[in-house]
Structure 1
Amino acid sequence: MLRQLLERYSLTVAGIMSGTSLDGIDVAIVRIDGCGDRAKVELIHFESFAYEAELREKLKQLCSTDHSDVAQLCGMNFAIAERFADAVVRTAAAAQLPMSKIDLISSHGQTVWHIPVADAANAYLPKSTLQIGDLSVIAKRTGRPVVGDFRTADMAVGGQGAPLAPYGDYILFRDSAKGRILQNIGGIGNCTAIPATGTTPTLADADRLIAFDTGPGNMVLDQAVYELSQGQLTYDADGVWAAQGQVHIVLLEDMLAHPYFSQLPPKTTGRELFGKSYASAWLSAAKAQGLPAADIVATATAFTAHSIVRAYQDFVFPHFDIAEVIVSGGGAHNRTLLRMLAELLPQQAIRTSDELGISSDAKEAILFALLGNDWIHGVPNNLPSATGAERPTIMGKLALP
């Protein structure tokens, strides 16, 4: 099976993405011609499968040291893998594509904990990361080979295991004449700044990229909406609620004083810093000041926008001339958030990846399909300039059906 894949120029790959927002599973089935920086991608079909409320809350508990336990973690590793496998099968059926026509599945997994910097006081807390969703379960249920668990390989060569999206961002969105920032806004926000490449770009140019996690994307906002609505809403659709409120400037500045924002890239973060515990504590403080719900949602939205823009001002604009910011992820649907970004960045055009032919919802699943494709071809698929790794390496592990 592997020998046949190695000998083929074109592969059909199902990329699976489940992000820190914990909202569901994205599956993108793509046809990839070639590999590395010359890869060409065609999206065949995309589906998204929302997590039900009970599962989402159980995942939040796993991502919290206050509520997690080893039995739940062990069980969820298999339970979520079953969901991943079912999502691929259902996506293939929706595309009217037999499973036998899918050459490879590439899974990001579900991150439950991420330690990008070793704890100097505890030898048993080295730089490390944990994504669940067992690869063998996916392979056996679907009958297809599965590549996954990418982040650990980058950490093994000194990186932070994230962000991984910049590799695909460079392949899909580099431009000869314009500097671009690719801004994904999922649970966490992450950016890839790509200077204009000129007329003869090569993967070596990717060493010039600046990429890092900007901070919370939808994570704090979604938790605030969930609690303010007594569990009736999981996000602020189109930013409608935020549009009805006023931003509380003092509270916003207090949030932006978090030490993460002053750290130099490469840097990554997740629920360990900005998860449910952080969001609930912040929400309690906002309520204590007597803020109406709409003002709280508006301030949480502004927190995302301002943290993104300050990251650009501190770490990107001093080095690159940027003409466009291209937004993807769930945040691309939040009109209030996009408006705030446009107001804060009058010199840059704010666009969504949909305008460039790549679905903002499907983009990250497509990027992980690219990572799996390059694993098959033996091509290093991390970017040391983004993760801080000592060298390029081939990320991923294989499970056979």
Structure 2
Amino acid sequence: MTDSIQAENIYRKVTLRLIPFLFICYLAAYLDRVNVGFAKLQMLSDLKFSETVYGLGAGIFFIGYFIFEVPSNILLEKIGPRVWIARIMITWGVLSSCMMFVSSETSYYVLRFLLGIAEAGFFPGIILYLTYWYPQARRGRITALFMTAIAFSGVVGGPLSGWIMSSFAGMYGIAGWQWLFLLEGLPSIVLGVAVIIYLDDSVVKAKWLTDEEKTFLQSKLDADAQTKVHLPIAKIFTDVRVWLFSGIYFFMVMGLYGIGFWLPNLIKAAGVTDVLNNGLLSAIPYFVAAVAMVLVGKNSDRTGERHWHLISFSLIGAVGFWLSTLNPTNITFSLIGITIACVGVLSSIALSWSLPTAYLTGTAAAAGIAMVNSIGNLSGFVSPFIVGWIKDVTGSLTGGLYFLAASIACSALLVALTKRLKPVRQ
């Protein structure tokens, strides 16, 4: 057996062990984060919330997320991924289910804020965890595979949310949107318990690997670490590259949450008022994007090129948002535009993590990845609030879609700037 075939077999074994399980965990996490977008279809009229109140509550999640992101990721590295990821999943599952008790603007804001605190550290923790197993050259495709959970949360979550809200509405005197929060929060709790049993903290602790396989994997990780920058944690917060990576992610995530929180509303505005049909149609952009994410990540790994892939797909996302404004009352045209936007946004977001993970290592990686993710996800506060405000003021989502197109175009500009930075020498 040649060395290359042996390497592929070992990494295939690792991938089959880790990625399907992490995929399911992230699917549950992302679904719990954005299912408020479907609950909105019934919740706003039941609770008499305005679009601005909805947007503020949807976004306030990311304030708690921002505050606790860096500390959470540092704790993950110190305590170990298995215990810390389990803690995150169980607490956010409980709080997500508690969203069924929202009865006022205050309770809505408080629970969304607490949900952000609970989930802080999960996504950057998994990105960090993948660096414990895969060298940089393999992480484009692997990260894309993991992040297709975002896309599949739309494929599965849309129809599931629509079905729950239409089928359970009024059962035992509980509204459909309340059943939605309750039933979609429970899987995260179960998966949190499963993390304790299933995951291993590192290559060395993996009992399902032979000693030879462990030695091979660790040698690749050690060699990879030699090419990275070893920065003290304090310098992470002043490093120009980390801030550039944060800006790139901020503008990309603007587009992501624009889709996540407003796609059901776009479909409704095009004349689809039935929540089940709305959910089924909302799956289409995410399904196409899931396929595109994997193909783009694989091609980027094959060519070794990151920047032009990122620039191209960011601009594709911007064009998609613009197209979706041209005929908003035509469901076919709207879906084509938002599908193109979804492909561009999700493909570029998955690939964007190849930049900071190629640059940082050790505790600096834990802090740096968390900083990029926390600053980036502040756009999860900005995006729904501004789009909601624009809709309240204008009575239309068109202005909000222009805003999202401009945001994702800005990320392409920042990616271009990273090409001009001189490499750091250790």
Shorter-normalised TM-score: what interval? under 0.3
State the TM-score, normalized to the length of structure 1. Answer: 0.27
The TM-score normalised by the length of structure 2 is 0.26
Structure with greater proportional helix content: 2
Give 1 or 2: higher strand fraction.
1
**Greater relative contact order (Cα < 8 A, sep 6+):** 2
